[in-house]
Amino acid sequence: MQAKLLGAVGALLATAFLADPAAAADKTKIDFWFGNSGDIAKRVQEQCDRFNQSQGDYEVVCTSQGSYDASLQNTIAAFRAGKQPTIAQVSDAGTLDIMLSGAFYPANQLMTDMGYTVDWKDYFSGIANYYATSKGEMYSFPFNSSTALLYWNKDAFAKIGKDHAPATWQEAGEDFKALKDAGYACPLAFDISNNEVWQYVEQFEAVNGEAIATKKNGFEGLDAELTFNKNPLLVSYIKDLKSWYDNKLAVIKNKAVGQTFVEAFAAGDCQVILTSVGDHGNIGRTAKQGMNWGVSMLPTYGNATRHSSYVGGASLWVLKGHSDAEYKAAAAFFNFIAKPEEALTWSTVTGYIPVRNSGFEYLKKQGFYDKAPYAGRELAIQSLTASPASDTAPHGIRLGGLLQVRTEIANGLQAIFVNNADVQASLDGAADRGNQLLRRFQQTYKNVQLP
């Protein structure tokens, strides 16, 4: 069944050079495929190296597949060929795809079988609820977890008489105009690719307490239908964003124009962006010298009450078809990365947040968030826990083929911003195309109940 998830892409097989062949023979080696690239890929490799150096029984060989999409597709292709890695990183958007594949060894069962006791309630509810089954079972390990924040240039805002970031989008629009009048050519930098649908549609709906689809964003059934196009708040917001774009208060920044919105902000060329807290470390390392910047939670729209944002990033899945020795190695690796000390190291070198309360408390005791390079990252935790777990609003998105659905939404945004298409008509078209994808996914898993 797992072969039905996505089209197969040639799987990348990893080998590792070991200086001592005799020692290698005594170690159980496992493969871990991940989708991160660039700076984060280096940080993942460093974590793998720390695990390998921490003990002498196991070796995890970590190989970047280049992107989340490629990581999932390559894993599926490898599973079909019987050459799957022991551990595969799957993005938040691919959760349902692999959850219904039957190709995995449930994380909670793995740890019990291998003799580890895990306090699954230690995970932040905003993270656990996204990845857990309806019974609260964790089939995968939350790994690089994040949420979206607003990044703002404090020096630029000081020139317009502001000492705080906008709390609402109405205030943000006024700030963008003031920044433009003050001579800033790029008050807001944004992008409309499928990766950025997360910030501008999904997270917008989340913090305003709205759903993008029926059935609590798919958590209650595969027959969910997209409804984001029927939300007056989102439609109005996209119209505002288009107005800001037309009036040069917002500028599209991506690789096609030679500078991504993250790069534009770090260079001081643009004064506001929305992006993952996972970019916090990279911006800190690359920001223009002397630049004074900060982060805040995403603005709400109109009179909406703030709700929790959605977790982003990815989780780690253990795949079927391996030996007990390899599963022991995987469990040891998971136990290692769950240590509070490792959470501190991981959060220090990236911008990702600790996934467990114990890790967060450890970071606070170490004074982590009091240090200038890391100050503000705690806002991601506040954003993910802004509303109680009992909140009736959806706690995430569980739609099959969400990566493809995002592409259709991005295509709708492209029509609006590049081709000046009607906002409502374009959003309606994106929802229609997305619903066709959902119906095909539903047909693939006909009569299957969500776990």
The per-residue pLDDT for range 23-80, each reduced to its tens digit, is 455 899 999 999 998 888 999 999 999 999 999 999 999 999 998 888 888 998 998 8
What average pLDDT does the segment 264-289 reach? 94
- The answer to whether 297 and 126 are in contact (CB under 8 A) is no
Length of the chain (residues): 451
Q: What does the pLDDT read at residue 256?
A: 86
- The answer to whether 50 and 345 are in contact (CB under 8 A) is yes
Task: Report pLDDT digits (tens) over 382-413.
Answer: 999 898 877 778 888 999 989 899 999 999 99
DSSP letters, 217-250, are HTTT-TT--B-GGG-HHHHHHHHHHHHHHHTTSE
What average pLDDT does the segment 159-165 reach? 97
Question: Rounded distance, CA 239 to CA 373, Å?
Answer: 36
What average pLDDT does the segment 244-260 reach? 94
Q: What does the pLDDT read at residue 388?
A: 80
Residue 372 makes CB contacts below 8 A (sequence gap 6+) with: none
Angle of the 324-337 helix axis to the 340-349 helix axis, nearest 10 = 70
pLDDT band at residue 17, thresholds of 50, 70 and 90?
very low
Question: Rounded distance, CA 6 to CA 220, Å?
Answer: 23
Q: What does the pLDDT read at residue 25?
A: 58
- The answer to whether 33 and 63 are in contact (CB under 8 A) is yes
**Out of 4-18, 317-331, 353-367, 389-403, which region has the weakest mean confidence (pLDDT)?**
4-18
Which amino acid is it at 60?
V
- Model pTM? 0.87
- The answer to whether 155 and 291 are in contact (CB under 8 A) is yes
**CATH 3.40.190.10 boundaries in the chain:** 2-146+311-384, 148-309+400-444
Is the model's pLDDT at 226 over the cut of 70? yes
- 176 alpha carbon, distance to own chain's centre: 27
Q: What does the pLDDT read at residue 7?
A: 37
Was domain 2-146+311-384 assigned CATH 3.40.640.10? no
Q: What does the pLDDT read at residue 165?
A: 97
Task: Report pLDDT digits (tens) over 72-105.
Answer: 889 989 988 999 999 999 998 889 988 998 899 9
Residue 433 makes CB contacts below 8 A (sequence gap 6+) with: 408, 411
Question: Rounded distance, CA 150 to CA 175, Å?
Answer: 13
Q: What does the pLDDT read at residue 135?
A: 85
Residue 118's alpha-carbon distances to 98, 138, 295, 399, 401, in angstroms, are 23, 11, 33, 28, 31
- The answer to whether 275 and 298 are in contact (CB under 8 A) is no
Question: Rounded distance, CA 315 to CA 303, Å?
Answer: 34
* Percentage of the chain modeled with pLDDT above 90: 71
Q: What does the pLDDT read at residue 449?
A: 83
Is the model's pLDDT at 4 over the cut of 70? no
According to CATH, the topology of domain 148-309+400-444 is: D-Maltodextrin-Binding Protein; domain 2 (3.40.190)
Q: What does the pLDDT read at residue 265?
A: 97
Burial (CB count <10 Å: 0-12, 13-18, 19+), residue 133? middle
Is the model's pLDDT at 448 over the cut of 90? no
* Residue 346: both structure tokens together: 């991981």
Is the model's pLDDT at 112 over the cut of 50? yes
- Mean of per-residue pLDDT scores for the chain: 90
Angle of the 324-337 helix axis to the 38-54 helix axis, nearest 10 = 110
Residue 302's alpha-carbon distances to 169, 237, 295, in angstroms, are 7, 10, 21
Comparing CA positions, the residue from 79, 1, 2 lying closest to residue 33 is 79
Number of other residues whose CB lies within 10 A of the CB of residue 290: 7
